[in-house]
Amino acid sequence: MSGTTTAPAVPDRDTFVELDRHDPLAPLRDHFDLPTDLIYLDGNSLGALPAGTPAALDAVVRGQWRNDLNRGWTQHGWLRLPVTVGDAIGALIGAAPGQVVVGESTSTNLFKLLWGALAQRPGRRVVLSDTGNFPSDLYVADGLVNLVSGGHELRVVPTDDVVAHLGPDVAVVLLSHVDYRTGEILPVQQITERAHEAGALVLWDLCHSAGAMPVHVDEWGVDLAVGCGYKHLNGGPGAPAFMYVSHRLLPRFTQPVTGWIGHRDPFAFDPVYHRDPSPVGLLSGCPPVLGLVALEQGVRLLRRADLRQIRDKAVALTDRFVRLVAARPGNRRLGLLGPAEAQRRGSHVSYRHPAAEAVVAELLRRGVMVEYRPPDVVRFGFAPLYVRYADVWDAAAALTEAVATVETAVNDGGLRHE
């Protein structure tokens, strides 16, 4: 961290093993079913498998589905799952019950809420976002402004310029709480306040913060939020994502996909749509029951831990990793992206390297799974529920070897770069 003046020595592995011994979150690792020969540093792309998930799915598939068939919807409360799992996620992001529901993917949820936000601000035509935002969020916003075609516009500016671009034409500010590449944490409350002063709504993407750190959407005055089920919530591949609409907006909030499940009485088969005034009104079609059952397991596991402890461990893991990488001279071509202070970063750390993709492949050969992000980024995700301090040490050692191998190959003309 800042303040370090002398060149740091590489601490030995035992000190990391010792940290694991005193880690209050260490027992949670046993609640995951992890491959034994792999250090998994990609849990922020796809969370690991909670040990209870296969049995929970089996109970629903072979018990409920097989035996009860269509009665399952009422008998087992399948239709309520978007709300019950939604409220459980709400507890993780500081939302009082009745404001969060689990819907479709983050991208689709985002589309629905963004449309709803524009409907709340007729006469304002700008969706304001930043260049660091997740591309899918920008694609969806771009698709939407073209679709509504009332002279609407997606304005994408550098992150630091967002507040300066607030004005009477901005309907909604669309940002990610944690940058998917650099890990930078944006000051949600501060930006939300400025947006409100300018008369705009805010829509926060919590994909890299929900379940990874304390989030306080109610307290921070957030209007709308979406977030992923398959990253830090460990809901499994393609897990459905959640939507938050503040109770301040909910009574008048509309969304564009007015399907029957969002109707206040779907089984009346009313020819006219009447929106359910609760977050159920954000839904469209039948909920993905199996996905919700798996997501519920992931969320339940997270609720055994204290988010403050999770966050503190993420800071400790990422900070130690960065220090280990910096302490080895062979790593000088690895350029840390984003803020230098771990406190200002989320649970992942990214480095630039001219042969990033080859470094990622070399790491995998050494049993460390990380993420490559084009064109030149290697991203290391540290999920505090199951990543150990010893893993940090081992991954840093493997990285030094991987970089040496790749750079030797480059020097030998075996690999092209730059």
Ligand X SMILES: *Cc1c(COP(=O)(O)O)cnc(C)c1O
Q: Which candidate, 38, 130, 109, places its Cα nearest to that of 287? A: 109
58 is an active site residue: no
Does 202 contact ligand X by CB under 6 A? no
Task: In angstroms, give the least distance from the CB of 313 to ligand X.
Answer: 21
Residues in contact with ligand X, shown as a per-residue x/- string from 82 to 121 under the rule CB under 6 A? -----------------------xxx--------------
Here the tokens at position 330 are 């062979």
CB-based contact 213:44 (threshold 8 Å): no
Establish whether 137 is an annotated binding residue.
yes
What DSSP letter does each residue of 79-127 carry, written as one string? GGHHHHHHHHHHHHHT--SSSEEE-S-HHHHHHHHHHHHHHHSTT--EE
Q: Which candidate, 364, 393, 378, 375, places its Cα nearest to that of 334? A: 378
Establish whether 230 is an annotated binding residue.
yes
Here the tokens at position 215 are 């989030």
Establish whether 106 is an annotated binding residue.
yes
> 246: Cβ–Cβ under 8 A, 6 or more apart, which residues?
99, 217, 218, 222, 223, 224
379 is an active site residue: yes
Does 180 contact ligand X by CB under 6 A? yes
Here the tokens at position 197 are 């002063």
Residues in contact with ligand X, shown as a per-residue x/- string from 268 to 307 under the rule CB under 6 A? ----------------------------------------
Question: Which residue among the candidates 124, 231, 311, 313 is catalytic per the annotation?
Answer: 231
231 is an active site residue: yes
134 is an active site residue: yes
Question: Which residue among the candidates 311, 320, 379, 388 is catalytic per the annotation?
Answer: 379
Task: In angstroms, give the least distance from the CB of 294 to ligand X.
Answer: 14
CB-based contact 403:360 (threshold 8 Å): no
Applying the rule CB under 6 A, the residues between 205 and 264 that interact with ligand X are 205, 207-208, 228, 241
Question: Which residue among the candidates 134, 253, 380, 386 is catalytic per the annotation?
Answer: 134
The values of phi and psi at residue 104, to 5°, are -100, -150
Q: Around Cβ 203, how many Cβ atoms within 10 Å?
A: 27
Question: Which residue among the candidates 23, 130, 179, 205 is catalytic per the annotation?
Answer: 205
Active-site annotation, residues: 134, 205, 230-231, 379
Please give the annotated binding residues, written as ranges: 106-107, 134-137, 205, 208, 230, 260
Binding site residues, ligand X, CB under 6 A: 105-107, 134, 136-137, 176, 180, 205, 207-208, 228, 241
Binding-site residues for pyridoxal 5'-phosphate sit at: 106-107, 134-137, 205, 208, 230, 260
